[in-house]
Chains A and B, each alone.
Chain A
């Protein structure tokens, strides 16, 4: 039974970590534009640094 003494805290900590991660995604507005994100994944060109000359594209 002494195994419980560390197994339970580990289980709780892992769950809590998941919860925190979820709350973070919520806070950083990742659910604001769910439809957009589904499309953005298909864009193959990365954002370029803004200073670059646009004509080079």
Chain B
């Protein structure tokens, strides 16, 4: 049953009964990743590719549990990770990985230390702070309501005093515990000579608490513990929502480490093989890369020749044939034969590290972006604090009020102006917008992504994998018939070359493995003995056919023993709605540019099809980065949409960046927005929602500030009692939240219009 579900949902092959040689695909020594639980039991963690639905959990877990020696296995569906514990004496990691591979999943071991644990802890700390504040807020409110109603009935001063003391007892520890989130951030901002939203928040909370405590001590009528703690609770809710929105994307980012997670087989002087982690490899070492393995060093080929798929790095969909002397880069996939490499660069000087550095560099500039909330806080805090000071001096100097009473009034000003609604205005809109977008397959990674999206003038697209689907499809043509396809596809099943894979896929279920002994000639094609003689499937050049000038794009030729040939042409299809979306974006006044690392002929064809006038081919990562920086220097806000590793620096340099979920992990890591599915529509959707939510955020700020315009005069005049303070604050928060919820239906309404 479980297998049926898995087969139905997952685009993976379940290969039961057939032998899989897993050892050729993974390094031979994985001891660096082992964790010892006790003498015989070993625990190992894997990142698993191909988990798509709930049934996958069951497929994996039952398969592993039925395997002899496995003590426990647990899939984390949110993060696509797997923890397995097994008895060393009964099974080993290869058997585990084989079990996974049989079910169609690829497991990559990782060590827990590699992933940042700290961020997880922060999530929990926020949740704890929120829980404590929530508990305290509800209980203090319970007491406060009694006090307020006590004003109208017969509550004696002693009972009230008891209630105040109890409130203090609950609120103060809770504020000290939960408030650290704001205090820490406020203090670090002040240390750097800046102010942020947390400064007025912290000040208001601390002052309100302090004043309430002193009022309680002298047995006065009013205490503001409820305001202080409720404020804190609301703000923590906002903070947690904000944090959660990014949590999911963080998991994606951590997946990127799987690029580096593979171990490297180094050939030693005596001919033996030692397995080390990538950072232990020395320059000049000779490294063995098995067929189907990801290359994890930058090197030069010294023995063997093979097809290397470097799509992660260049964005090119076709693999290149490489032979002795050619350079290969970490992150590429070795598709054909085993290769021996001489390591040219290690660690910090590899291409991967170079790209990471470019990204970091660009990242620093992006960090300069100040969110709207912080900009408002910057102006807001001084105004509020001056106002409170003026209140104090005004009352003492001009109205001869006692300094204690004047201090109370000015603290009331601070409480009433506390930016509760301001603190909620942005996160709530973002959460609602993110929820809406998520339903449309758009994942927002950074909090300010929406804000930045709303300001875009220019959109830069990458070609392969962004405007196109990134996988090759067989074109239906007269140059081949079904019989040709059946024969060719049967042989193609033996190869890992993308064209062969596309051919195999196109044939679908009609393929019967009628051929045997297929030999692959790297960079040329496949050759096998079949009915009537030797068949060949490969490039036109290898088959020595003359060029008739008709070859546009990738193709494969099948040659029968009789000499008859059939030609299969492939193309990377444009996303179904690419033309429509590009058209719509142009209509909305966005400028569109196409930058690609692909060959000129391919790029111009796509640009022509989509009606993009501005395009550039054969761009390397640095050129893309430079283009973006130039445009930004001109004062334009640029959105970059791309998927390849070569796009990563440009993605980071853009005002805001989008990646399809099929993108290289590193690009997803760099992007602010990740969109799923086969359509390009989410890009349009994201821009549309960003504009809507920008309007809402501004409305929210206007509402929150408008509220203050009414309440501040009351506070300055000294009319604010705790009841009014609580009511004002809660209701302004609620108004802001309700306004944000409107986004839900403005979008669904807007959809029918567009």
Contact = CB atoms under 8 A, between A and B. Distances in A.
Interface in A1-57: 1, 4, 8, 11-12, 15-16, 18-19, 22-23, 26, 31-36, 38-40, 42-43, 45, 47-48, 50, 54, 57
Given A11-B139, A18-B135, A40-B57, A34 B78 contact: yes
A39 B53 contact: yes
A19 B629 CA distance: 51
B606 to A, nearest CB: 36
* Centre residue among A11, A15, A45 by max chain B CB count within 10 A: A15
A47 to B, nearest CB: 7
A39 B159 contact: no
A25 to B, nearest CB: 10
A8 to B, nearest CB: 7
A26 B65 contact: no
B135 A40 contact: no
B318 interface: no
A32 B76 contact: yes
A31 B162 CA distance: 38
Contacts of B53: 39
Interface stretch (B124-132, B301-309, B380-388, B475-483): B124-132
A22 B131 CA distance: 8
A15 B57 contact: no
Interface string B115-143: 00000000010011001100100110011
Nearest to B166: A8
B108 interface: no
A43 B76 CA distance: 15
A35 B142 CA distance: 35
Contacts of A47: 65
B459 to A, nearest CB: 32
B750 interface: no
B284 interface: no
Contacts of A35: 77-78
B135 A15 contact: yes
Interface string B160-198: 001000100010000000000000000000000000000
Interface string B17-29: 0000000000000
B71 interface: yes
Given A1-B159, A4-B159, A12-B170, A36 B131 contact: no
Dominant SS among interface residues on chain A: helix
A36 to B, nearest CB: 3
* Centre residue among B54, B70, B156 by max chain A CB count within 10 A: B54
A57 B66 contact: yes
B76 A36 contact: yes
Contacts, number: 63
Dominant SS among interface residues on chain B: helix
A19 B65 contact: no
B65 A50 contact: yes
A21 B55 CA distance: 31
A39 B59 CA distance: 12
A33 B138 CA distance: 28
A43 B6 CA distance: 13
Given A16-B135, A33-B79, A39 B54 contact: yes
Given A19-B131, A47-B65, A38 B54 contact: yes
A1 B159 CA distance: 8
A28 B76 CA distance: 15
Contacts of B58: 43
Given A39-B57, A50-B65, A23 B131 contact: yes
A31 B79 CA distance: 12
Given A39-B54, A43-B58, A15 B77 contact: no
Nearest to A38: B54
Contacts of A42: 54
A1 B68 CA distance: 68
Contacts of A40: 54, 57
A32 B166 contact: no
A43 B128 CA distance: 31
B132 A19 contact: yes
B1 to A, nearest CB: 9
A33 B75 CA distance: 9
Interface string B33-57: 0000000000000000000011101
A40 B135 CA distance: 30
B142 A11 contact: yes
A36 B75 contact: yes
A23 B128 CA distance: 7
Nearest to A39: B54
B401 to A, nearest CB: 35
B138 A15 contact: yes
A39 B132 contact: no
B66 A26 contact: no
Contacts of A23: 128, 131
B76 A50 contact: no
Contacts of A4: 159, 162
A10 B58 CA distance: 44
A22 B55 CA distance: 29
A57 B142 CA distance: 56
Contacts of B124: 26, 31
A33 B248 CA distance: 11
A20 to B, nearest CB: 9
17 contacts: A12-B139, A15-B138, A18-B135, A33-B77, A33-B79, A34-B78, A35-B77, A35-B78, A36-B78, A39-B53, A39-B77, A43-B54, A43-B57, A47-B65, A50-B65, A50-B71, A54-B66
Given A36-B57, A39-B57, A45-B62, 16 more contacts: A8-B166, A11-B139, A12-B170, A15-B138, A18-B135, A26-B131, A32-B76, A33-B78, A36-B75, A36-B76, A36-B78, A38-B54, A39-B77, A42-B54, A47-B65, A50-B70
6 nearest A-B pairs in the assembled complex, by CB-CB distance: A39-B54, A36-B77, A54-B66, A19-B135, A33-B76, A35-B78
